Chain A
Amino acid sequence: MHFAIPVLSLTIWLPIIGGLAVLASGDKAPNISRWVALSFSVLAFLVSLLLWTGFDASTAQMQFVERAPWIPSFNAWYHLGVDGISMPLIILTTFITILVLISGWEVISYKPSQYMAAFLIMEGVMVGVFSALDAILFYVFWEAMLIPMFIIIGVWGGPKRVYATIKFFLYTFFGSVFMLVALIYMYFKSGSYSILDFQALPLSLTEQIWIFLAFLAAFAVKVPMWPVHTWLPDAHVEAPTGGSVILAAIMLKIGGYGFLRFSLPITPDASATLDWLVIAMSLIAVVYIGFVALVQQDMKKLIAYSSIAHMGFVTLGFFIAFSIFARAGATGGVVMGMEGGMVQMVSHGFVSAAMFLCVGVLYDRLHSREISTYGGVIHTMPVFGALMVFFAMANAGLPGTSGFVGEFMVILASFQADFWYAFLAATTLILGAAYTLWMVKRVVYGPVTSEKVAGLQDANGRELLVLGILAVAVLALGLWPAPLVEVMDASIQNLVQHLAVSKLAVAPAAVAVLP
Chain B
Amino acid sequence: MTFDYAHLIPVVPEIAVLVLASTLLLVDLWLKDREKGINHVIAVLGLLIVIGLTGLVGGGEREIVLGGTYVRDPMSDLLKIAILLISLLTFVYSRDYLRDRQMMVGEFYVLTLFAVLGMMVMVSANSFLTLYLGLELLALSLYTLVAFDRDSPTGAEAAMKYFVLGALGSGLLLYGLSMLYGATGSLELGAVAGAVALQGATNQVLVFGLVFVVIGIGFKFGAVPFHMWVPDTYQGAPNPVVLFLGSAPKIAAFALAFRLLVDGLGALHAEWQGMLIILAVISMAVGNIVAIAQTNIKRMLAYSTISHVGFIFLGLIGGNAEAYSAAMFYAIVYALMAAGGFGLLVMMSREGFEVERLEDLKGLNERDSWQAAMMALIMFSMAGVPPTVGFMAKLLVLEAVISVGLWWLALVAVFFSIIGAFYYLRVIKIMYFDKPEIIEPLVLGTGARLASSINGLAILFLGLFPAILLAYCQAAFV
A404 to B236, CA, bound (A): 65
Q: Is the beta-carbon distance between A155 and B433 smaller than 8 angstroms?
A: yes
Task: Give the interface segment out of A138-146, A249-257, A428-436.
Answer: A138-146
A428 to B433, CA, bound (A): 39
Chain B residues closer than 8 Å to A70, beta-carbon distance: 467
Instruction: Provide the A48-67 mask, 1 if CB < 8 A to any CB of B, else 0.
Output: 00000000000000000000
CB-CB nearest in chain A for B464: A140
Choose among A69, A151, A166, A181 the residue that contacts B414 (Cβ–Cβ < 8 A).
A181
Q: Is the beta-carbon distance between B421 and A139 smaller than 8 angstroms?
A: no
Q: Is the beta-carbon distance between B432 and A155 smaller than 8 angstroms?
A: yes
Chain A residues closer than 8 Å to B471, beta-carbon distance: 73
Cβ of A500 to closest chain B Cβ, rounded Å: 31
A143 to B386, CA, bound (A): 6
Q: Is the beta-carbon distance between A173 and B474 smaller than 8 angstroms?
A: no
Q: Is the beta-carbon distance between A173 and B421 smaller than 8 angstroms?
A: yes
Among A141, A146, A147: residue with most chain B CB under 10 A = A147
Q: Is the beta-carbon distance between B385 and A146 smaller than 8 angstroms?
A: yes
Q: Is the beta-carbon distance between A177 and B417 smaller than 8 angstroms?
A: yes
Choose among B373, B386, B422 the residue that contacts A166 (Cβ–Cβ < 8 A).
B422
Chain B residues closer than 8 Å to A169, beta-carbon distance: 421, 425
Segment 375-408 of B: residues with Cβ below 8 Å from A = 380, 385-387, 391, 395, 398-399, 402-403, 407
Q: Is the beta-carbon distance between A140 and B387 smaller than 8 angstroms?
A: yes
Chain A residues closer than 8 Å to B373, beta-carbon distance: 23
A169 to B418, CA, bound (A): 10
A-B contact count (CB 8 A): 86
Choose among A143, A166, A188 the residue that contacts B403 (Cβ–Cβ < 8 A).
A188
Cβ of A162 to closest chain B Cβ, rounded Å: 5
Chain B residues closer than 8 Å to A180, beta-carbon distance: 395, 398, 414
A185 to B402, CA, bound (A): 7
Given contacts A71-B466, A73-B474, A184-B402, are A177 and B428 in contact (CB under 8 A)? no
Given contacts A143-B391, A147-B380, A151-B432, are A184 and B398 in contact (CB under 8 A)? yes
Q: Is the beta-carbon distance between B414 and A178 smaller than 8 angstroms?
A: yes
Q: Is the beta-carbon distance between B385 and A143 smaller than 8 angstroms?
A: yes
Does A259 have its Cβ within 8 Å of any Cβ on chain B?
Answer: no
Choose among B407, B418, B429 the residue that contacts A173 (Cβ–Cβ < 8 A).
B418
A69 to B465, CA, bound (A): 11
Instruction: Provide the A312-349 mask, 1 if CB < 8 A to any CB of B, else 0.
Output: 00000000000000000000000000000000000000
Q: Is the beta-carbon distance between A185 and B407 smaller than 8 angstroms?
A: yes
Chain B residues closer than 8 Å to A73, beta-carbon distance: 467, 470-471, 474
Cβ of B333 to closest chain A Cβ, rounded Å: 14
Cβ of B165 to closest chain A Cβ, rounded Å: 34
Does B154 have its Cβ within 8 Å of any Cβ on chain A?
Answer: no
Q: Is the beta-carbon distance between B414 and A177 smaller than 8 angstroms?
A: yes
Instruction: Provide the B195-229 mask, 1 if CB < 8 A to any CB of A, else 0.
Output: 00000000000000000000000000000000000
Chain B residues closer than 8 Å to A177, beta-carbon distance: 414-415, 417-418
How many residues of B sit at the interface, in one of the four size bands? 20 to 34
CB-CB nearest in chain B for A166: B425
Does B168 have its Cβ within 8 Å of any Cβ on chain A?
Answer: no
Does A154 have its Cβ within 8 Å of any Cβ on chain B?
Answer: yes
Cβ of A254 to closest chain B Cβ, rounded Å: 15
Q: Is the beta-carbon distance between B433 and A162 smaller than 8 angstroms?
A: yes
Does B186 have its Cβ within 8 Å of any Cβ on chain A?
Answer: no
Q: Is the beta-carbon distance between A170 and B433 smaller than 8 angstroms?
A: no
A144 to B425, CA, bound (A): 14
Chain B residues closer than 8 Å to A26, beta-carbon distance: 369
* Size of the chain A interface, CB-CB below 8 angstroms: 38
CB-CB nearest in chain B for A143: B386
Cβ of B110 to closest chain A Cβ, rounded Å: 41
Chain B residues closer than 8 Å to A483, beta-carbon distance: none
Does A229 have its Cβ within 8 Å of any Cβ on chain B?
Answer: no
Segment 105-160 of B: residues with Cβ below 8 Å from A = none
Does B53 have its Cβ within 8 Å of any Cβ on chain A?
Answer: no
Choose among B391, B398, B418 the residue that contacts A181 (Cβ–Cβ < 8 A).
B398
Chain A residues closer than 8 Å to B425, beta-carbon distance: 150, 166, 169-170
Q: Is the beta-carbon distance between A170 and B467 smaller than 8 angstroms?
A: no
Does B411 have its Cβ within 8 Å of any Cβ on chain A?
Answer: yes
Q: Is the beta-carbon distance between A154 and B414 smaller than 8 angstroms?
A: no
CB-CB nearest in chain B for A74: B399
Instruction: Provide the B455-478 mask, 1 if CB < 8 A to any CB of A, else 0.
Output: 000000000001100110010000
Does B410 have its Cβ within 8 Å of any Cβ on chain A?
Answer: yes
Does A86 have its Cβ within 8 Å of any Cβ on chain B?
Answer: no
Does A423 have its Cβ within 8 Å of any Cβ on chain B?
Answer: no
A169 to B414, CA, bound (A): 15
Among B395, B403, B470: residue with most chain A CB under 10 A = B395
Does A174 have its Cβ within 8 Å of any Cβ on chain B?
Answer: yes
Does A114 have its Cβ within 8 Å of any Cβ on chain B?
Answer: yes
A227 to B265, CA, bound (A): 50
Cβ of A234 to closest chain B Cβ, rounded Å: 15
A361 to B352, CA, bound (A): 49
Q: Is the beta-carbon distance between B407 and A181 smaller than 8 angstroms?
A: yes
Choose among A136, A154, A170, A181 the residue that contacts B421 (Cβ–Cβ < 8 A).
A170
Q: Is the beta-carbon distance between A71 and B467 smaller than 8 angstroms?
A: yes
A74 to B369, CA, bound (A): 36
A166 to B395, CA, bound (A): 23
A170 to B422, CA, bound (A): 7
Does A34 have its Cβ within 8 Å of any Cβ on chain B?
Answer: no
Chain A residues closer than 8 Å to B395, beta-carbon distance: 136, 180, 184
CB-CB nearest in chain A for B470: A73
Cβ of A108 to closest chain B Cβ, rounded Å: 15
Segment 398-450 of B: residues with Cβ below 8 Å from A = 398-399, 402-403, 407, 410-411, 414-415, 417-418, 421-422, 425-426, 428-429, 432-433
Does A508 have its Cβ within 8 Å of any Cβ on chain B?
Answer: no
Choose among B391, B422, B432 the residue that contacts A140 (Cβ–Cβ < 8 A).
B391
Q: Is the beta-carbon distance between B402 and A188 smaller than 8 angstroms?
A: yes
Q: Is the beta-carbon distance between B407 and A144 smaller than 8 angstroms?
A: no
A81 to B386, CA, bound (A): 21
A241 to B135, CA, bound (A): 57
Q: Is the beta-carbon distance between B402 and A154 smaller than 8 angstroms?
A: no
Q: Is the beta-carbon distance between A178 and B386 smaller than 8 angstroms?
A: no
A141 to B432, CA, bound (A): 23
Among B426, B428, B432, B433: residue with most chain A CB under 10 A = B433
Q: Is the beta-carbon distance between B399 and A72 smaller than 8 angstroms?
A: no
Cβ of B329 to closest chain A Cβ, rounded Å: 11
Does A222 have its Cβ within 8 Å of any Cβ on chain B?
Answer: no
Cβ of B457 to closest chain A Cβ, rounded Å: 11
CB-CB nearest in chain B for A181: B410
Segment 70-93 of A: residues with Cβ below 8 Å from B = 70-74
A184 to B410, CA, bound (A): 10
Cβ of B464 to closest chain A Cβ, rounded Å: 8
Q: Is the beta-carbon distance between B474 and A154 smaller than 8 angstroms?
A: no
Does A187 have its Cβ within 8 Å of any Cβ on chain B?
Answer: yes
Q: Is the beta-carbon distance between B369 and A114 smaller than 8 angstroms?
A: yes
A26 to B369, CA, bound (A): 9
Show 30 residue pairs from A and B whose CB-CB distance is below 8 angstroms, ordered by the A residue. Answer: A23-B373, A26-B369, A69-B467, A71-B466, A71-B467, A72-B467, A111-B365, A139-B386, A150-B428, A151-B428, A154-B432, A155-B432, A161-B433, A166-B422, A166-B426, A166-B429, A169-B421, A170-B422, A170-B425, A173-B385, A177-B414, A177-B417, A180-B398, A181-B410, A181-B414, A184-B398, A184-B410, A185-B402, A187-B399, A188-B403
Give B residues with C-beta under 8 Å from A: 365, 369, 373, 380, 385-387, 391, 395, 398-399, 402-403, 407, 410-411, 414-415, 417-418, 421-422, 425-426, 428-429, 432-433, 466-467, 470-471, 474
What 6 pairs between A and B have smallest CB-CB spacing? A140-B386, A177-B414, A154-B433, A143-B386, A71-B467, A144-B387
Q: A144-B385, A155-B365, A165-B429 are in contact. List 16 more A-B contacts (CB 8 A).
A: A71-B470, A140-B386, A140-B387, A140-B391, A141-B386, A144-B387, A151-B432, A155-B432, A166-B422, A170-B425, A174-B418, A177-B418, A178-B411, A184-B395, A184-B410, A187-B399
